[in-house]
Amino acid sequence: MTGSRFVCEIDGSHSHGVFRVPGCRASLRSGAIDAGAEPVLDRVAPALLRVDACGGYAQPALARAVPTIRDMVAETGTATVALRDSHHFSALWPDLEPFTDAGLVALTVVSGGPTVTVRGASRNVFGTNPIAFGFPLAGARPVILDLATSTMSNGDLRIASNEGRKVPVGTSLGRDGRDTDDPAEILAHGGALPFGGHKGMALSLMVEVLASALTGGAFSHEMDFAAHPDNQTPKTGQFLLVVDPARGGNAGFAERAAGVDRLPSDRRYRHRDAAAERGIPVTDGIRALFA
Amino acid sequence: MTGSRFVCEIDGSHSHGVFRVPGCRASLRSGAIDAGAEPVLDRVAPALLRVDACGGYAQPALARAVPTIRDMVAETGTATVALRDSHHFSALWPDLEPFTDAGLVALTVVSGGPTVTVRGASRNVFGTNPIAFGFPLAGARPVILDLATSTMSNGDLRIASNEGRKVPVGTSLGRDGRDTDDPAEILAHGGALPFGGHKGMALSLMVEVLASALTGGAFSHEMDFAAHPDNQTPKTGQFLLVVDPARGGNAGFAERAAGVDRLPSDRRYRHRDAAAERGIPVTDGIRALFA
C-alpha cells in the first residue's frame, strides 16, 4: 500500500496490499508513528540529500523530496538520498516509479524490523532488508525488480501461517535450529533466513549499512517494539540513488536495456492492467482481518 | 591479481591470484586487450564521471580516475562512475580500497563474460556479475564484501575441475539440464547458475544494467571470443558509487557501522598479515600452469 493508491494490491502483491491495512491502523493507533510528521530536507552537498522523516512514514517524506531529487539529478547527473527516522511498511517499487517514469535509473534499499535470523544467532538480527532497482526500457513500461534479501517476506510468512500453508524447507529454522516447513514454528522461533546463504547475508548487511549506518537511522537489531506493542512498522532508514542514464553520450540507454530479455515487472503490470478493468478482489481471508 | 601487488593472492583468494597469470598473459598475447590503452576521463556532470578504458584493463583506468573521484566526492558528496570498454579479470575489493581507506563508502559492480546460465536457457546469458560493497569501521580495517551473483566464480569452478574435485549439487546443471556435482560436466554444458534462485538472477540483471547498459559497455551475452580464442577477459563495463558518510551530520558513521558484528573481510586480512610475514605459497597445481 502506498498512500491512497493501493498500488501494491493493484499490482498483485497481496502481502503488501489490503492485508497490511489493519497493521497500518494498529501501528498508527499505537502512537509509535507520527502521522502528522513534517519531513525535513537538507541538501548537504550538491548530490547528497539528507531527509529526516521525523518518525513518520517514508512515503510522504520521499514524495516531498521528489522535486529536489529531480533538480539534483538535472544539476549533478545523480542524486543520493539518505532518509532516516522513517517507517516503511510497503514494497519498494512504488518509491522508484517517479524516477523510472522520468527515464532515470534508481536503486533503493530499506532496513526493517528484526524479523530475519541467521544460523547460530540467538535472536533476529536483520530486517527483510529489501533491494529495489528500476530502469526505463524503450517501447515498454519501466522494469523494477524488488526483492527481500530474506528467503521470504515477513508478510508472506504470516499469510502462509494464517492460511495453514507449508513453506519450502530452507525458508528458515524451527525448534533447536532444525529445518521445518511450518511457518508458525518458524515465526515462534525467529523469522526467515537471508536468501542464498552467506551471499544473501552479505547483501542484507550491505542494506543495513546503507539504510541505517549511512543515513543515521536505527539498525534492525536496535528496533524495540516494547513501548508500542501494537506497532508493526520499524523506524529505520532508507537509501536511494538516482542516476540519469542519458548524461554524457549514452542517450541510447533505454534501447540498450531492452536487449535484456528478462522482465521482472511483467507480472505486476499484468495485475495493474487487470485491476484497472475489474477492481481489487478481496478474499474472505482478507475480509476477516477487518472483522 | 591487481597490477604488481598480487593483492588477491596475498589476501588468500587463490582463484584470483597467481592462478590467473597464465590467463592474463594469454589474453594480452591474443591482441584482444590493449595493454597500452590511455583511459579517457569525462566528467559529464559534477557527480557523474564517464571513463573509457579504451579496451585496456579496468584497474589502470580506475587508478587514473581516483583523484578525480575524490575531488567529486569532496565537491558534491558522492561520485558515480560509469566505466566502459574495460577488461576485468580480478576480484573487486582492491578497486574499493582507495575509497574505504579514505573513510568513504563504496559500491561497485562489473559485468563479465557469458559464463553463467539460467534454467531453461540454451546458452550462457550472464557473467558472474559480482557486487562489492565497502565501508570504514571505527577501530578496525575497512569491511569489504565481494560476491559473485553466481553460485560459484568461474575461477573456482575451473580450479575444482582441474583438481578433480566435486562441487555442491545446485551449483549448476549438466547434461539435459540435470543436477550434477561434476564441474567438468557443468563447464561442458554452460556455467554456474545465479546464486539464490530468481533473486540472485534479478541481482545479476541489475549488474548488467548498471555495468553495461548504463555505462555503454558490452553486455555479457554480447561478448564474442571467436576473434581472439586465447583471450580470457571480456570487454564490458563497471559501475562505481562512492559516498562520503560524514557529510551532513552523520560523522559517527564508522562508529555506528561497528555495531554490525559480521565482518566479511576478516579472512582476507588474516591472509594479508600472514603473507606479509611468510610470502605467497605456490602449490604444485599452480606451478604446473606455468610449465
Classify A37-150+193-261 by CATH class.
alpha beta
Contact list, A109 vs chain B (CB under 8 Å): none
Residue with cell 519501466: A142
Please, which residues have CB within 8 angstroms of residue B278's CB and are 6 or more apart in sequence? none
- Residues B199, A147: C-beta atoms closer than 8 Å: yes
Residue A144 C-alpha cell reads as 523494477
- Residues B77, A133: C-beta atoms closer than 8 Å: no
Angstrom distance (rounded) from CA A52 to CA A62: 10
Contact list, A80 vs chain B (CB under 8 Å): 77-78, 241, 243
Q: Which of A275, A14, A256, A37 is nearest to A155 (CA)?
A: A14
Size of interface A-B (CB pairs under 8 A): 185
Give every strand in the sheet of A40-45, ordered side by side.
A40-45, A48-52, A78-87, A235-243, A105-110, A131-137, A140-147
Angstrom distance (rounded) from CA B256 to CA A212: 9
Q: pLDDT band at B5, cuts 50/70/90?
A: low
Angstrom distance (rounded) from CA A202 to CA A197: 9
Q: Which of A41-50, A180-189, B23-32, B276-285 is predicted least confidently?
A: B276-285
Contact list, A48 vs chain B (CB under 8 Å): 76-78, 243-244, 247-248
Q: How far is B283 from chain A (nearest CA, A)?
A: 28
In chain A, DSSP assigns E strands to 40-45, 48-52, 78-87, 105-110, 131-137, 140-147, 235-243
On the question of pLDDT at B260 being above 80, the answer is no
On the question of pLDDT at B247 being above 80, the answer is yes
Q: pLDDT band at B2, cuts 50/70/90?
A: very low
Q: How far is A228 from chain B (nearest CA, A)?
A: 24
Residue A70 C-alpha cell reads as 529531480
On the question of pLDDT at A96 being above 70, the answer is yes
Q: Within 10 A of A227 (CB to CB), how many other CB atoms are there?
A: 9
- Residues B253, A76: C-beta atoms closer than 8 Å: no
Q: Which of A75-84, B186-195, B255-264 is predicted least confidently?
A: B255-264
Average pLDDT over residues B269-287: 84
Determine phi and psi for A240, rounding to 5 degrees: -140, 130
Q: pLDDT band at A258, cuts 50/70/90?
A: low
Q: Within 10 A of A13 (CB to CB), how many other CB atoms are there?
A: 24
Integer-rounded Cα radius of gyration of chain A = 19
pLDDT confidence of residue A110: 97
On the question of pLDDT at B1 being above 70, the answer is no
A179 and A133 Cβ atoms separated by less than 8 Å: no
On the question of pLDDT at A259 being above 60, the answer is no
Average pLDDT over residues B222-246: 90
- Residues A44, B202: C-beta atoms closer than 8 Å: no
pLDDT confidence of residue A262: 52
Q: Which of A84, A80, A106 is nearest to A93 (CA)?
A: A106
Q: How far is A3 from chain B (nearest CA, A)?
A: 27
pLDDT confidence of residue B239: 97
pLDDT confidence of residue A234: 87
Task: Using CB atoms, pick whichever of B76, B244, B245 lies closest to residue A46.
Answer: B76
% of chain A with per-residue pLDDT over 70: 96
pLDDT confidence of residue A4: 42
pLDDT confidence of residue A165: 97
- Fold (topology level) of B7-150+193-262: Ribosomal Protein S8; Chain: A, domain 1 (3.30.1370)
Q: Which of A101, A122, A149, A104 is nearest to A241 (CA)?
A: A104
On the question of pLDDT at B182 being above 50, the answer is yes
pLDDT confidence of residue B227: 85
Q: How far is B2 from chain A (nearest CA, A)?
A: 23
Q: pLDDT band at B109, cuts 50/70/90?
A: very high
On the question of pLDDT at B254 being above 70, the answer is yes
Q: pLDDT band at B95, cuts 50/70/90?
A: very high
- Residues A135, B213: C-beta atoms closer than 8 Å: yes
Q: How far is B216 from chain A (nearest CA, A)?
A: 6
pLDDT confidence of residue B4: 42
Counted residue by residue, chain B has a size of 291
The 10s digit of each residue's pLDDT in A106-131 is 999 999 888 999 888 878 889 999 99
The letter for the amino acid at A243 is V
Q: What is the dihedral of CA B183, B146, B214, A127, to 10 degrees?
A: 110
pTM over 0.90: yes
**List A16, A87, A88, A271, catalytic entry:** A16
pLDDT confidence of residue B282: 79
pLDDT confidence of residue B159: 87
The 10s digit of each residue's pLDDT in A161-196 is 999 999 999 999 888 888 999 999 999 988 999 999
State the average pLDDT for chain B: 89
Residue B150 pairs in a beta bridge with B194
Q: pLDDT band at B68, cuts 50/70/90?
A: very high
On the question of pLDDT at A72 being above 50, the answer is yes
On the question of pLDDT at B100 being above 50, the answer is yes
Residue with cell 561442458: B188
Q: What is the dihedral of CA A134, A138, A141, A142, to 10 degrees?
A: 0
Q: Which of A190, A166, A165 is nearest to A178 (CA)?
A: A190
The 10s digit of each residue's pLDDT in B131-175 is 999 999 888 899 999 999 999 988 788 889 999 999 999 999 888
A15: annotated active-site residue? yes
The 10s digit of each residue's pLDDT in B33-61 is 998 999 999 999 999 999 999 999 999 99
**Cα end-to-end span (Å), chain A:** 20
- Residues B205, A47: C-beta atoms closer than 8 Å: no
Contact list, B76 vs chain A (CB under 8 Å): 45-48, 76
- Residues A249, B133: C-beta atoms closer than 8 Å: no
Residue with cell 516531498: A64
Q: pLDDT band at A3, cuts 50/70/90?
A: very low
- Residues A44, B133: C-beta atoms closer than 8 Å: no
Please, which residues have CB within 8 angstroms of residue B203's CB and are 6 or more apart in sequence? A131, A145, A147, A203, B129, B131, B149, B194
Half-sphere exposure of A101 (CA within 13 A, CB side): 7
Residue A195 C-alpha cell reads as 536468501
**List A85, A95, A146, A156, catalytic entry:** A156
So where are chain B's domains?
A: 7-150+193-262
CB < 8 Å & 24+ apart, contacts of A67-71: A68/A41, A68/A43, A69/A99, A69/A240, A69/A242, A70/A102
B208 and A260 Cβ atoms separated by less than 8 Å: yes
Angstrom distance (rounded) from CA B84 to CA B215: 6
Strands B48-52 and B78-87, by their bridges, are: parallel
Average pLDDT over residues A233-251: 89
pLDDT confidence of residue B19: 77
Contact list, B111 vs chain A (CB under 8 Å): none
Angstrom distance (rounded) from CA B12 to CA B269: 9
In B88-231, DSSP assigns E strands to 105-110, 131-137, 140-147
- Residues B76, A262: C-beta atoms closer than 8 Å: no
- Which residues of B are identified as catalytic? 15-16, 156
pLDDT confidence of residue A261: 55
Contact list, B197 vs chain A (CB under 8 Å): 195-196
Judged by phi (left if over 0) then psi (alpha if -120 to 50, else beta), residue A286 lies in: alpha
Give every strand in the sheet of B48-52, ordered side by side.
B40-45, B48-52, B78-87, B235-243, B105-110, B131-137, B140-147
On the question of pLDDT at B213 being above 80, the answer is yes
Residue B84 pairs in a beta bridge with B52, B237
A86: annotated active-site residue? no
